[in-house]
Structure 1
Amino acid sequence: MKLKNVLNGIDYEIVNGGVDTEIAGIDYDSRKIGKDELYIAIRWTHVDGHEFIKDAVNKGVSAIVIDRDIKQDFKEIAVVKVKNSYKSLFGLASNFYGKPADKLNIIGITGTNGKTTTTYLLKSILEEREQVAIIGTIRYIIGKEKREAPNTTPDALILNRIFSEVVNKGIKTVIMEISSHSIALGRINGMKFNTVAFTNLSREHLDFHKDMESYFKVKSKLFTDYPSVNKVVNIDDFYGKRLFESLKGNIYTYGLSKKANFYAERVNVAKHGIQFTLNLNGDEISLKSKLLGEYNVYNSILASSIAYLNGFTPGEIKSGIEKVEYVEGRTELIEGEKSGIDAIVDYAHTPDALERLLLFARENGFWNNIILVFGCGGDRDTEKRPRMGTIACKYADTVILTNDNPRNESPDKIISDIEAGMECPHIVEMERAKAIEKAVGKAKTGDVVIVAGKGHEDYQIIGNMKRHFSDREELLKRLV
């Protein structure tokens, strides 16, 4: 492909060379760049790609994109200057890969909690007809192929590579979790959606967004700044209602009241699942799901609503919802059949998510005592920590504080922050495996051990070291 085709629609100026240069590939990583490829120099948070232009040139690149002046003079290489390399990335990548996103039915789901479960429920429904792709927190899935997910929403280059693969495999639909970071940082600039959906909003990522209003404004951009055919919003959520009232176009609501376009009634929350009647614009569906908690009623309504708007029948929706037995690390129940002690692994790492999880366990009376193991991630929002400590004391009978992913922050400081909100007796065991062992040791028949914060993650980050660790595996060793 010629450089001028890669630059189509991009505001640029030629610094050196010409636009008829042939481009064999594109990348922003000088370690991965190859001969005759286009190197995109991006100014990242901690490193400037312009500092590695010489390395890229030594590997034989045919062109370079920059967004600041450089001292080097590369006579035989095309040099193009843009206003912002990162913000130009989606357009450059899209052009190189043949605008794959324009050939796809893309569904974007945003919100603080519920995104992942909703995407898996929706995937199950859509697979009643065809294979789909998922880009989200747990992993990326292209048909039957599964890959590690370094980010909930990857950057524009990786996105377009995935979209291109999806198109080449004949898959037509991509279900995406859209993180607030991806919106704020411009990772999805230039994208169009069939459907965008909003689950809820509660305290999260305030180390990045600073306050809830800023967080809300960023999430709202998915509905105001990106073209979409349908918009679906949780009308029962405070911020969802605000968003709904500000929008125009094809806007649909969901919730647990008849005020919504899509709603559930006659809800029954049981130890092994949920039952409810789903109303989709007058079409009633009786559903029985193995997922746990009222919050999964909301997730089921949303997934069903999106499928319905995309032309799926009530029968296909029912079949797809009921096929999902669990979503990895999302209120995942492990039953100790011999001991009579159950356990739940959950990704709850925000005050709202932790409270919903513990309310499910406490209010329904499924277990005698709740033994809770949790911590908080390092180098993240610190103000949520005492709030989570308060919630733990309110609902759990025994609380064991431990390491989550402390990263480069002092584990003692993280625990101290949590304890600032606690007025109940509790145990501190920094080693997470030992904390889980202590929790199981304290549990008796009829009790439940809840391990919160990491969910599906099979690693732990301490300092700069990432080691294998799985809450699920540790519980299985001791319960089954």
Structure 2
Amino acid sequence: NNFDGHDFIKEAYEKGARLFLISDKSKWPKNLRAKYFVLPEEKLKSLYFDICHFVYKTQEIFKNVKVIGITGTNGKTTTSFSLYYILKDFEKVGLIGTEEYILDKEHIPSFRTTPPLDYLLFLFKKAYEKNIKYIIMEVSSHALDQKRVYKIPFYISAFTNLSQDHLDYHKTLENYFISKLKIFFQTQKYGLINPYNFYSDLIKNFEKIYPCKILKLPLYKDKKILKIDKDIIKLNTNLIGDYNLENVAFAAFMAYLLKVDKDIIEEKIKNLKIPGRLEKVYKNIFIDYAHTPEGLKKVVLTLKNSFKNKKILVLFGAGGNRDKYKRPMMLKEIKNLADKIILTMDNPRNEDDILILLDILKAEGNLTSIEKNKIYDTLKNKGIYNFSPKITLIRFRDKAIKYAIENFKDYIILLAGKGNENYIEIQGKRYPFSDKEEVLKWV
């Protein structure tokens, strides 16, 4: 979205390219002697994707490597890591997702939850060369809509849940849902859905149009067991939270469908470690990646239920150049659950970080221009603004974390939004930053 490929024609020519496929004849450089064909943009994309599959010989790859795809608003990382953790001691396994790309013992930094198709197929080729049997991957709605998983055959797929997110891109919740559904049209064997999510019944009602069999998670007894035919899998896990039982159940069910013994599944899920997902970094301090209204609410409720005699402090912000509609909804969802709220920076990207905080404050009603200007100027000059006894705005995240730790020692502190990320993105540049490391500076 930030570049026009036509601008690189001369550079490609200088590097040896002599045949070009373009979508706009008017952008062909003058006096450049090379052959070119003009195609509609969508056809051009599909042709490029087909060429990628041809170059990487994916027909041979997918005969030997089974791909498991996981989509959903929340829970993709926890589900994929849980399945990876179950399988990794028995098979060669790959993992592609938000945290990192793992190919057996090789770890590659992740730059996108679901990378572009050409790079994705490059990873699949490496997996094939390493004799990896399973690739577990997070599949984002953007990836499904932009064909980043074009013609990738998922052996099993899972749709964890759906709630508001990415409406800056999809515009409506309906479009967002339709994008997620595309994963089932590429699934060969089983498509798993969550019986506790409203959208699952809609998926089940149209299961005849999919090439795969749609299965609901067979959860029973307060989500504590999976009952599959005559087999029962007990979901005794160290992960806290009702929603995490659903994520672990998805992983356990997929492992069972991959013929892993149920006793092994039960043993492996007892001690799961999911980086940045309700991860305890100090005795009273947790970090979590929750960055949607529903996700944040679930994490806060989990902490309240786990620490009934403790007050809860929630520190969060909202990412720039992302869904603006969810910003006030996040505050609205937790205002009556948290005892103290600190609003702060979270990857503002190319937006004004203070204006993002003002967007979140819309949950408190419409502020006058005078009030907005006062908050803006105070944050710009002093870095902190006490909006109310419950809500404090602290512009810079490192200072916000220090403030929370020093002033609320008896609270359970949740640092939400960034999880295990090791950077903060400001004006297109990523600077080293870690919630976990900031905590360890001040405890």
**TM-score higher than 0.5:** yes
Aligned to 1:3: none
Unaligned runs of at least 5 residues, structure 2:
366-387
1:320-331 correspondence to structure 2 within 5 Å: 320-324=268-272, 326-331=273-278
The equivalent of 2:45 in structure 1 is 86
Q: Helix, strand or coil: the match of 2:11?
A: helix
Check the 8 A contact 1:264/1:297 in 2, yes or no: no
Scaled by the length of structure 1, what TM-score is found?
0.81
Structure scoring higher RCO (CA < 8 A, sep ≥ 6) equals 2
Report how far residue 46 of structure 1 moved. 2.9
The alpha carbon displacement at 1:235 in A equals 1.5
Pick aligned residue for 1:295 from 243, 249, 265: 243
In structure 1, how many angstroms separate the alpha carbons of the residues matched to 2:63 and 2:150?
13
- Cα shift at 1:282: 2.8
1:181-207 CA distances to partner (integer Å, 9 max, x unpaired)? 011111111121101110000000000
The answer to whether the Cα contact below 8 Å between 2:315 and 2:415 also exists between their aligned partners in 1 is yes
Measure the CA separation in 2 of the matches of 1:215 and 1:63. 37
Give 1:98's aligned amino acid. Answer: K
Matched, 1:348 2:290: yes
Aligned to 1:19: none
Given that residues 264 and 301 in structure 1 are in contact (C-alpha distance below 8 angstroms), is that contact kept between their aligned partners in structure 2? no
Distance 2:301 2:106 in 1: 36
Q: Distance in 1 between matches of 2:32 and 2:220?
A: 64
Q: Which moved more, 1:367-376 or 1:203-212?
A: 367-376
Match of 1:148 among 90, 101, 109: 109
Q: RMSD in angstroms over aligned alpha carbons?
A: 1.9
- Residue deviations 1:260-318, cap 9 Å, x none? xx214255xxxxxxxx3332333112342121211110011100111111211102212
1:471 corresponds in structure 2 to 435
For residue 335 of structure 1, report the CA deviation from its aligned partner.
3.2
| Residue in structure 2 matching 1:335, options 265, 275, 282 | 282
Report deviation, 1:444: 3.2
CA separation in 2, counterparts of 1:189 and 1:73? Answer: 36
Is 1:282 aligned to 2:246, yes or no?
A: no
Alignment partner, residue 239 of structure 1: 199
Q: In structure 2, how many angstroms separate the alpha carbons of the residues matched to 1:414 and 1:266?
A: 39
The aligned counterpart of 1:250 is: 213
Aligned to 2:372: none
Question: Residue 263 in 1 paired to residue 222 in 2?
Answer: no
- SS of the residue corresponding to residue 78 of structure 2 reads helix
| CA–CA distance in structure 1, aligned partners of residues 199 and 317 of structure 2 | 27
* In structure 2, distance between residues paired with 1:46 and 1:297: 40
Q: CA deviation at 1:156?
A: 1.1
Rate the CA distance shift 1:355–1:365 in 2: closer, same or farther, 3 A.
Answer: same
Corresponding residue SS for 1:421: helix
Q: How far does residue 220 in structure 1 lie from its aligned partner after superposition?
A: 0.9
Q: Which residue of the partner structure matches residue 106 of structure 1?
A: 67
8 Å CA contact 2:9, 2:29 repeated in 1: no
Please name the residue that 1:39 is paired with: none
The counterpart of 1:430, out of the listed 381, 395, 398, is 395
Shift of residue 66 of structure 1? 3.0
Q: Deviations over 1:147-182 (max 9, x none)?
A: 111111111100111110000111121111110001
Residue 288 of structure 1: SS of its match in structure 2? Answer: coil
Q: Deviations over 1:132-159 (max 9, x none)?
A: 1111111111111111111111111001
Structure 2 match to 1:97? 56
Is this contact kept in 2: 1:378–1:405, CA < 8 A?
Answer: yes
Q: Distance in 2 between matches of 1:281 and 1:475?
A: 47
Inter-partner Cα distance in structure 2 for 1:117 and 1:355: 17
Is the Cα–Cα contact under 8 Å of residues 201 and 240 in structure 1 kept in the other structure?
Answer: no
Is residue 183–residue 218 contact of structure 1 (8 Å, CA) maintained in 2? yes
* Structure 1 position 409 matched with structure 2 position 351: yes
**In 1, Cα distance between the equivalents of 2:220 and 2:265?**
14
Matches within 5 A, 1:120-199: 120-199=81-160
Asked if 1:55 corresponds to 2:11, the answer is: yes
**1:110 and 1:177 in contact (8 A); partners too:** yes
Question: Does residue 1:452 correspond to 2:416, yes or no?
Answer: yes
More helix by share: 2
CA distance in 2, matches of 1:148, 1:167: 19
Q: CA deviation at 1:464?
A: 2.4
Match of 1:65 in 2: 21
Shift of the 227–465 alpha-carbon distance from structure 1 to 2, 3 Å rule, reads closer
- C-alpha deviations, 1:313-332, integer Å up to 9, x for none? 102212332242x2111111
Residues 352-407 of structure 1: per-residue CA shift (max 9 Å, x gap):
00000111111343451111111111111111111111223211111111111111
Separation in 2 of the partners of 1:227 and 1:266?
29
Retained in 1: the 8 A contact 2:193–2:215?
Answer: yes
SS of alignment partner, residue 335 of structure 2: helix
1:353-368 equivalence runs, <5 A: 353-368=295-310
**What SS does the corresponding residue of 1:298 show, helix, strand or coil?**
helix
Change (3 A) 1:367 1:118: farther
Task: Tell me the secondary structure at the aligned position of residue 395 of structure 1.
Answer: coil
Deviation at 1:73, TM superposition (A): 7.1
- Normalising by structure 2, we get a TM-score of 0.88
**Taking structure 1 as reference, are residues 82 and 169 closer, same or farther at Cα in structure 2, changes over 3 Å only?**
farther
CA spacing shift, 1:81–1:188, aligned 2, 3 Å: farther
Q: Is the 8 A contact 1:101 1:160 kept in 2?
A: no
CA distance in 2, matches of 1:382, 1:367: 35
Deviation at 1:333, TM superposition (A): 1.3
Q: Distance in 1 between matches of 2:222 and 2:177?
A: 32
Query: When the two structures are aligned, how many residues end up with a matched partner?
Result: 411
Number of the residue aligned with 2:181: 220
User: What residue is the counterpart of 1:394 in the other structure?
Assistant: 336
Q: Structure 1: which 5+ residue stretches go unaligned?
A: 1-44, 255-261, 268-275, 337-341
Structure 1's 227 and 362: CA in aligned 2 closer, same or farther, altered over 3 A?
closer
Mapping of 1:38-49 within 5 angstroms? Answer: 45-49=1-5
Distance 1:318 1:79 in 2: 58
Say if 2:294 and 2:333, in contact at 8 Å, map to a contact too.
no
* Counterpart secondary structure, 1:123: helix
Percent identity at matched positions? 35
Find the aligned partners of 1:250 and 1:128 in 2 and give their Cα distance. Answer: 28
Which residue identity is paired with 1:352?
E
The CA distance in 2 between the partners of 1:435 and 1:398, in whole Å, is 13
For 2:352, the aligned partner's letter is S
1:467 aligned partner, one-letter code: Y
